[in-house]
Each structure stands twice: as structure tokens, then as C-alpha cells.
Amino acid sequence: MTTRFGAVALCVVLAAGAVACSSADDAATPDTVDADGLLGQDPGDCIVVDMAVSPEKIDLMTDLAQTFNDSDEATSGDECIFVRPQRKSSGASEQLLRDGWDEAVEGPLPVVWSPASSAWGAVLNQQLTDQGDEPIATEGEPFMLTPLVIAMPEPMAEALGYPQEPVGWADILRLSRGPEGWAAFDHPEWGPFLLGKTNPNFSTSGLSALIAQAYANTGKTEGLTVEDLDQPQVEQAARDVESAVVHYGDTTLTFLNNMYRADQRGNSLTYASAVAVEEKSVIDYNAGNPDGVLDPGEEPRPPRVPLVAIYPEEGTLYSDNPLITLDAEWVTEQERDAAAVFVDFVQQPENQERVLEFGFRPGNPDVAISEPIVTGNGVDPDQPQTLLEVPEPEVMVALLDNWDEQRKGARVVLLMDVSGSMGDIGDPDTGETKLDLAKRAAIDALDDFAAQDIVGLRIFSTDLGPSGTAEFVDVVPVGRRMTDNREALATAIRALAPTNATPLYSATQAAYEDAVAAFDEERINAVVLLSDGVNDDGETGDDDEQLDSLLAALEAGGEGRLTQPVRVFPIAYGEDADLSTLRRIAEASTAAVYDASDPTSIDKVFAAVVSNF
Amino acid sequence: MRRLLAVVGAVAMIGAAVLVRDGVLDGGGSGGGGGSGAGGDGPTRLICATELADACQALADEDGDVTFDVQPAGDTAELLTEAAFDPADADFDAWLTLQPWPALVELRRELAQRGPALGETSDVLATSPLDVIGPTERLDTLVGTVCDAEPETPVWRCFGDNAGADWDDVGGESGWGRVEVGFADPTESATGLLILGQASAEYFGALGGESFARNDFDAAFSSWLRAIADSSPNLPSTAGTPLSQLLQYGLASWDAVGDLDWTADARVQGSRDEDSLTVTYSSFMLAEVVAVPVRGHGLPDLSGGGPRNALLDAGFTNPTYDIEPSRSVSPINPGLYQALLEEWELAS
């Protein structure tokens, strides 16, 4: 049946594109072998059921596993069962299960796999079949559910007439293309209609939003064709919508964190007007926990302006978080039986009620949808009323291909630290320096920019330039489209060598101010800052003053509807990087910081950063 | 709504008890007592159609000599139809399923010029009417506004006529999307096959003694079936029956699904959407539970009180129904079911 195949098709296409697709939120946290879960605990002589669990539910699953392991129910025959979840993002685990799972690096092979959506199981099976292997993903029982929604600040949703008036993708897109922006709704003070969308090559939310956008642009709700996408008016509509995008990114949590910070400064209405996210993220946001994770010392504080979940009139898509017991050679009959005991356990009503605590809808229909999924939290338990059809694979390919052409262009300065410490060893196994690794990652990341993007390379250290006194040098000036500039950039990056000190603050401020001066309103304007150390320009007495000046400039530039937002995306590179300061820099410009404290992760981090453009 | 059972005299939980007490589960078998697989002594191994899993679990709980596996009827039928299947080597003794699957297996084997695989099918052990379940507001709109318009159209016929239509074209709200109606895959599910038969009989007007045949199939019927097949909602997983999906995903999933009355009652009651769902009926048709041994294998004597009660506790009933003849689906023979399955596979 075509509609069912569609769900499978979605991710088959992703696979064809060899991209790292994740759930709306499950790219939010890096994969770690032992950061969460129960990997550190001794299972004794019990049957061990290893699980690979997408990050958004690792805390819940670990909690349930712990409860289960300690209970009398953790038995199969005469033996005890020990369930051991580990965090693995959906896309990453799918690729590992397909290409080979190195237990020494990735942790134990899973008996049970719980990605964000069942579609991942279909992807895996399709890819295994394509490469001549047997499928291993069985159909898993949905553990918990959450629909994709359009999150809007409440006053903005009300201005559209919601909830009395239904709002659909088409309405949102029409608004984003309209030249008047919010003035058309008697709110000129809110400025243009700004759309938050994640990169569909990385985020399932982004991909779902792209599908919905395509339907809205064609006036269809099913049966989308390649011919539909090729119509000139549809192409133009897609470009118009993309032009309203704030920036992209690998996870919706970046938007929610930024919106929350803007809210705390009283500016949430000027950061983004609408963001496509999972319903549970709206609940988390309104509880004052925008990324769903409370860091040590953090306490949830409700935002000044709450978000409202709009369930689009035309339909939406669901994440169902299945528990898939793998039919793989490494899974024994004994482990399979033990897994079944745990799968039954988590479906028990008292355990399904735990799902609600995390803002998800229980998979067990006998458990009522209740707090926190209530209208008071900006969501509606009686929605959604209908779902969108996922297009056929060839249409998905065309959608993603077209998006590469249609997405909003970017004007980006790569600001790279070439201080002496970049010459330190980054990978002891290969002997490569941190700069070696960063250069390779940066060159690889050039391919992730769109052809129309304008990218330049600026390096910073001390005693640079012909005079030997400069703190930065434009090695490749920002100016030419990536199509014409890629080789020059790659060549320049290859030639970089470690030099002297780290004038982090002054170099960042200069790059930011230059980008503001050259602001291009048709593009996403940004500085990607890679640094491996603390500010060190040989003059420690003015460090605080420099940082205050930088942060003030960044904050001032991001507020108010007539501003020219240039976002600074820092990469904290290596274990000596000043992550906390870099985070402040990112937050001041409503961007996001990326943690590459392990230098060997820099290639993944660079790709994630570039996903913002 | 059309709660036929509200106006019929139902005498529940009698038939199955009598049948079991009379030892019909011995039918076709050579053994009794503690079971008799092909190899003689040892536990009796059952394969149970998915719909009967609870009943089989209850049987196994009551009788330590009974073991069982649960499998969709279509999978068991495929196994039994394979050329390589040898009843003497079978690793199970009997099949607890719904009609007409045993006869369908023998028909397929006959068409493939293979000998019989099964023994004699028991009398009917229990029955259940077929239900339609859906969100009340939507069923009221579709059935009340569209199907019940003069002349009244049977529900499944009406569903097929409107499957895939935009709700705002048939009196609903645009936010409801399109009309999504269906039933479990009939190539796999015992229940799904029956509802395919029921819906098709309604399409051809084969109620109250009127009949239909493969010769009646035409392009219009194919389109009608395809509309139903294509109207399934776009859920992230195909796991579970349409009724399970309706209960899990609520209004975003199905607008109406078919299932067994005993299943629907058990699943809908106590579910979170119980108050907003309606269980109703279309034309009248009974699902019939039977047991059939693998040829040459035997069944245990299940006439004791324990097994009988286990069956009853699992939801087996055998009421009598006083149905208006014109609303009853005429009998459908196994050959016609096979033809419907082939048509369905083309349509879907």
C-alpha cells in the first residue's frame, strides 16, 4: 500500500543521500559509550539485554531499566535479566548496524534498538537488503509517541487567530513569503516573519518540515510528484520560504535554546516566529527547560512568552520510538526471550505513565494522555487530526536535491585559530596534530556548503601578516560563491601552520564587526570560530574588558527588529579550549556552541556546524 | 448507531462450552489424554491464529501438556501449502484458527496438485460478529450523513465509495484530512480476510441470500478495493492491527476499522479514547473459530472444566443471533475468498 511504503521511503532516500538523519532532538547530544545508561554496572551472571537508545529518551529508558533490573520481573526461566541501555542517535546506530558495529569503539552490540521512529527500521532493512544482507529489524511496538508541530510564541499564534482559526503549513509559508511580515497582522513591531527550520540532511524534523512545505506549495496533501516540484511557481515558492529562515542547524534544540535566551532578555518575538519541532519540545520549553535536559545547578524557569503547538490543518508526522528486538546473528534466543520480558515491562501502565513525565504520549493506549500533555502547556491532546503522506523515494530525492539549490544562501567567515598549541598532537594513534585534523575536517566540510554560499577564510594568532603585527589575516576573502572558491579555500586551508598566541576576543570582535559591515540580508550571515585555547594576546590586563566589549556588541547586534543578525558559531576544539567563554559568545549572538573537546571528533562537529547554513 | 446486537437475543457463552464438553477438539485426531503429536506421546503443539493468542495462552495455562506458537493465519497457511510441507514431519499438531483458512489451505494444495495437509476441521467452537470501530464524530458524519442517505448503503460499501475522499467533501471538517478506512491485511490476518469478504459482499449486494462470484469482478470493483487499500493512514509503523493503531494514534490514524466483536470490546473498553469511540456494525457476518489437526496428528481431550473455562475466560462466546435476513452476508466459499485475495493483492 503506497501510503505505508511512504514511511519507509522517507528514510530510504536519506540513506541514498548518505546523510546523518536524526530525530528532531536525537542529534542534540553526542553519542557516548558510557555517558549514560548502565554500561558501567556489573550485570553479574544475568542475561544481558543491551539496548541502543536514541538520546531524547535515554534518561527515561535507563530509569526503567534500573527499575526492571531491581524487580522480580527481571527473570527468564531460571535466570535473571539485566537490561543495559546506551545512548545512540537514530541515524548513527542505523549506520553502525548497516556497516558494522565495532564494539571496542561503540559499546556492546544491541539486542534491542530503539530509534526515534520505526522508519529507521525500514531504512536499515532496505539498506541491508540492497547490499545483499538479511534484514534484521523486526517490527517494534511503539514505546511512546510525539507528533511534529509548528511551535509559535503565543501572541503570534493568537494574532493568526489560533486556536479558533485552524492554521496550516500553507498559512505559515504564505506569511513567511509575504513582504509585509507581521505588519499584515497589525504587529509591525514584530518585524518580518522568521522561520526556524533544521537542516533536512541532518534532522528528521527538518525533513518533515520540508515535506510539509512541499505539500503546501503545491496545494496537495498526498500524491506529491517530481513534476509537481519542478513547476516554476512551486520552485519559486520554495525559495521564498527559505529566504525567511533564520538559520538551519542539526537540531531543533538550538532554536529552542536560543529562543529561550532571547525570551529571558525580553526578545523572544524577534528571534523566530515559528519553528518545526516535536510536541514534547514545546512542553519542555514552556516548563523552562528548552533542551529537555537540566544541567547541574540549572532550574526550570518558565519563559515570559510561552510557545503554542500548532497542529497543521493539512496534517503532520509522528515519531513512535519503537523497541525493536533485532533478528541478528549476535542475538541469542535467550536474549530475545529476555528482551520480550522487558518490552512487556515497559508497556505496563505504571511504566507508561513515566513516559508522560518526559512529555511523550504513551504507546499503550490504555494509559490516558494527561499532564503534561494538556492545553495549559501549549499542546492539545486531541490533536493531530490527520497525518501527511510521506512521498515516494524519487520525490524525496528530488526534494532534497532541490533544497540544496533553494535553501537560503550563507555568507560565512571561517575564523580559525592557528596559535602554536594547534600544533599539539590531536590523535595519538596517528600522530596528527590538532591543526592537521582541523584542516582535514574543514576541507571536507566545504562540500557541505551550498554552491551559492559565500565563504571566506580568516586566520588568527599574533604577529601575523607582512608587518608581523597583525592578529588576523584574510587568507581567502569573503566574496566569491563557493562554486568558484572551493579549491582556493581548500588550498589555503592545507597551507595553514601553527604560529603564536590566541587573541580570541579581539579577533572574534573584528570578524563579527566586519561581517556586520558587509551584512547581506538575502543570506544567513555568520562567523564560524574554531579555537583551541583561552584568550591570550600577551596582555592579560584587558581580557575582561575585551570580553565584555565583544559580548555587548554581539548582544546588541541580535536584538531589535531592524538589526543585522550575524551569528557566531564557536567550536571549542581540544580539551584546553575555553568552552564556557565560547558558549557565552554563542549565546550572545543567539547561535550555538559546538564541543569538539575530543579532537578526533572535529570532522563530525564541523559537519554539524555547517548544517546551520 | 447500528448496534444490531442491542436488538437481538444473544445467548452468550453456551455454545463453546457445549462443544468443548462434547470433545469436538478431538476431531480428526487419534489421541486423547495428554496429547499425541506425530511422534506419539508428549505435549500437544498448537499454532494459534494471532486473534486467538489469549485463548491459547489460557489453554496452555490450564493444561501443562499444551504448548503453542502464535502466528498470523496467512503465515500458517503459507507454511501448510508449501510443497516441502510433510504432515508426518510437522512440528505442530493442530491449528486453532478462523474459517475459512483450513479449507483455503486445502484448496491451494489441490490447485498445486498436492495432497491434503490437514485432518477434519472441528465444528465451530465459538463465534464473534464483525464490528466497525471509529471516532464517534467521524462515524456519525460518514454513516449518518452519507451512508444512511436514501437508499441506505451498507457501511463497508459506503466506506469504500468514500475511501480517500477529503472529509470536507463528505460533510466532515477539512482538518480531518481524508477518509481513512480499513482492516488488517487479509493475506495475513484471519479477521482481515473475513472483512474483505464482508465488504465485497456488500459491494455486490450479496446479502440476504443473494450471491456473488469471481465473474462479477470488474474494473470498478478493483478501483473500489484500491480506494480502501490506499486509504490507510501514514503511520510511522505498520505494527499492530488497524484497531491497535486507532487506539494508539487516535484521530490522526483511522476513521473506521473492522475487527472482531470480542477483540473490539476488550480493547476499546478501558482505552484512553473509549468515550470518543463508537463500536458499530455493518452487514452481519460471524467469524467462526475452529480447530484442525495436521493430518495424522492428534489433539488432547479438552473436555475438562479447566480448559473449557479457559476458553470462555479468553473471550470465546457462542451466542445465537436473530438477525434480519436481508442484512446477513451470504456464505462465501473458499474459492471466492481465494479470488478476493488475488484481487486484493492486485489492488494494494
Q: What is the CATH number of the domain that holds A519?
A: 3.40.50.410
Question: Is residue A475 a part of any domain in this protein?
Answer: yes
Question: Does A3 sit within 8 Å of B232, measured CB to CB?
Answer: yes
pLDDT at residue A42, as a whole number:
77
Asked if A583 contacts A541 with a C-beta cutoff of 8 angstroms, the reply is: no
How many angstroms away from the CA of A221 is the closest CA of chain B?
Answer: 8
pLDDT at residue A299, as a whole number:
85
- Hey, what long-range contacts does A363-368 have (CB within 8 A, 24 or more apart)? A363/A141, A363/A142, A363/A143, A363/A144, A363/A145, A363/A320, A363/A321, A363/B248, A365/B244, A365/B247, A365/B248, A365/B267, A365/B271, A365/B272, A365/B273, A366/B270, A366/B271, A366/B272, A367/B272, A368/B272
The answer for B25, left when phi > 0, alpha when psi is -120 to 50, beta otherwise, is alpha
Question: Is residue A580 a part of any domain in this protein?
Answer: yes
pLDDT, tens digit, 9 for 90 and up, residues A554-574? 988 866 555 688 999 999 999
Give the distance, in angstroms, between the CA of residue A556 and the centroid of all CA atoms in the same chain: 26
End residue of a domain, out of A358, A381, A401: A401
Question: Does A1 sit within 8 Å of B232, measured CB to CB?
Answer: yes
Shared-domain flag, residues A96 and A153: no
pLDDT at residue B32, as a whole number:
32
Asked if A150 contacts A282 with a C-beta cutoff of 8 angstroms, the reply is: no
Dist CA A127 CA B37 (whole Å)? 42
What are the residue boundaries of the structural domains of chain B, listed by start?
Answer: 4-127+287-313, 129-286+325-347
Interface with chain B: mutation pick from A385, A388, A392, highest number of B CBs within 10 Å:
A385
Amino acid letter for position A276: A
pLDDT at residue A373, as a whole number:
97
Shared-domain flag, residues A111 and A175: no
Question: Does B253 sit within 8 Å of A117, measured CB to CB?
Answer: no
Q: Which residue of A has its CA nearest to B185?
A: A1
Question: Does B252 sit within 8 Å of A387, measured CB to CB?
Answer: yes
pLDDT, tens digit, 9 for 90 and up, residues A494-535? 999 999 999 999 999 999 999 999 999 889 999 999 999 899
Q: Is residue A196 over pLDDT 50?
A: yes
What is the arithmetic mean of pLDDT over B77-103?
Answer: 95
Tell me whether residue B228 is exposed, middle or buried, using C-beta atoms within 10 angstroms of its C-beta: 0 to 12, 13 to 18, 19 or more.
buried
Cβ-Cβ contacts under 8 Å, B237 against chain A: 7, 118, 121, 139-140, 142, 320, 322
Shared-domain flag, residues A397 and A298: yes
Q: Which three cell numbers stand for residue A133?
A: 544482507
Question: Does B272 sit within 8 Å of A369, measured CB to CB?
Answer: yes
Question: Does B270 sit within 8 Å of A140, measured CB to CB?
Answer: no
> Does A1 contact B at CB distance below 8 Å?
yes
Q: Which residue of A has its CA nearest to B348?
A: A1
> Does B225 contact A at CB distance below 8 Å?
no
Shared-domain flag, residues A239 and A199: yes
Question: Does B174 sit within 8 Å of A385, measured CB to CB?
Answer: no
Q: What confidence category does residue B123 fall into, taking pLDDT thresholds of 50, 70 and 90?
A: confident
What is the topology classification, in CATH, of domain B4-127+287-313?
D-Maltodextrin-Binding Protein; domain 2 (3.40.190)
Cβ-Cβ contacts under 8 Å, A333 against chain B: none
Question: How many domains, in total, are found in chain A?
Answer: 3
Question: Does B234 sit within 8 Å of A3, measured CB to CB?
Answer: yes
Question: Does A4 sit within 8 Å of B236, measured CB to CB?
Answer: no
pLDDT mean across residues, chain B: 83
Instruction: Tell me which residues of chain B, numbers 230 to 249, contact chain A at a CB-CB cutoff of 8 Å.
Output: 230-240, 244, 247-249
Interface with chain B: mutation pick from A11, A164, A318, A325, highest number of B CBs within 10 Å:
A318
Q: Which residue of B has its CA nearest to A312?
A: B175
How many angstroms away from the CA of B236 is the closest CA of chain A?
Answer: 6
For A3, the closest of B174, B230, B270 (CB atoms) is B230
Q: Which CATH class is domain B129-286+325-347?
A: alpha beta
Cβ-Cβ contacts under 8 Å, B231 against chain A: 3
A29-43, A254-268, A469-483, B168-182: range with lowest mean pLDDT = A29-43
What is the arithmetic mean of pLDDT over B159-179?
Answer: 92
Q: What is the residue range of A587's domain?
A: 409-610
Task: Respond yes or no on whether the N-terminal peptide bond of residue B100 is cis (omega within 30° of 0).
Answer: yes
Question: Does A142 sit within 8 Å of B248, measured CB to CB?
Answer: yes
Tell me whether the CATH fold assigned to B4-127+287-313 matches the one assigned to B129-286+325-347.
Answer: yes
Shared-domain flag, residues A438 and A553: yes
DSSP string, A67-125: HHHTSTT-EETTEEEEEEEEE--HHHHHHHHHH---HHHH-SPPSEEE-SSTHHHHHHH
What is the arithmetic mean of pLDDT over A322-349?
Answer: 96
Shared-domain flag, residues A354 and A309: no
Cβ-Cβ contacts under 8 Å, B176 against chain A: 385-386
Question: Is residue A381 a part of any domain in this protein?
Answer: no
> Does B270 contact A at CB distance below 8 Å?
yes
Shared-domain flag, residues A250 and A298: yes
Question: Does B233 sit within 8 Å of A3, measured CB to CB?
Answer: yes
Shared-domain flag, residues A487 and A590: yes
Chains A and B: how many Cβ contacts under 8 Å? Answer: 105
Asked if A474 contacts A411 with a C-beta cutoff of 8 angstroms, the reply is: no
> Does B101 contact A at CB distance below 8 Å?
no
A454-458, A480-484, B8-12: range with lowest mean pLDDT = B8-12
Strands (E), B167-247: 181-182
For B235, the closest of A140, A141, A318 (CB atoms) is A318
pLDDT mean across residues, chain A: 87
Question: Does B234 sit within 8 Å of A4, measured CB to CB?
Answer: yes
CATH number at A42 reads: 3.40.190.10
> Does A91 contact B at CB distance below 8 Å?
no
End residue of a domain, out of A350, A379, A401: A401
pLDDT, tens digit, 9 for 90 and up, residues A140-149? 889 999 999 9
Instruction: Tell me which residues of chain A, numbers 22 to 81, contact chain B at a CB-CB cutoff of 8 Å.
Output: none
> Does A353 contact B at CB distance below 8 Å?
no
A208-217, A411-420, B211-220, B267-276: range with lowest mean pLDDT = A208-217
A84-93, B181-190, B298-307, B313-322: range with lowest mean pLDDT = B298-307
Task: Decide which of B149 and A415 is more confident.
Answer: A415
pLDDT at residue A287, as a whole number:
95
Cβ-Cβ contacts under 8 Å, B232 against chain A: 1, 3-4
Interface with chain A: mutation pick from B179, B226, B237, highest number of A CBs within 10 Å:
B237
pLDDT at residue B84, as a whole number:
94
Shared-domain flag, residues A469 and A518: yes
Question: Does A386 sit within 8 Å of B177, measured CB to CB?
Answer: yes
Return the number of other C-beta atoms located less than 10 Å from residue A519's C-beta.
Answer: 14
End residue of a domain, out of A357, A377, A401: A401
Q: Is residue A89 over pLDDT 70?
A: yes
pLDDT, tens digit, 9 for 90 and up, residues A525-534? 999 999 998 9
What is the arithmetic mean of pLDDT over A200-222?
Answer: 84
What is the arithmetic mean of pLDDT over A98-119?
Answer: 90
Shared-domain flag, residues A576 and A435: yes
Interhelix angle B190-203/B155-162, rounded to 10 degrees, is 90
Shared-domain flag, residues A424 and A439: yes
Q: Which residue of A has its CA nearest to B247?
A: A365
Q: Which three cell numbers stand for residue A222?
A: 498526498
pLDDT, tens digit, 9 for 90 and up, residues B279-315? 998 999 999 988 999 999 977 655 555 555 666 666 6
How many angstroms away from the CA of B18 is the closest CA of chain A?
Answer: 34
Shared-domain flag, residues A116 and A19: yes
Dist CA B188 CA B76 (whole Å)? 9
Q: Is residue A294 over pLDDT 70?
A: yes
Question: Does A385 sit within 8 Å of B176, measured CB to CB?
Answer: yes
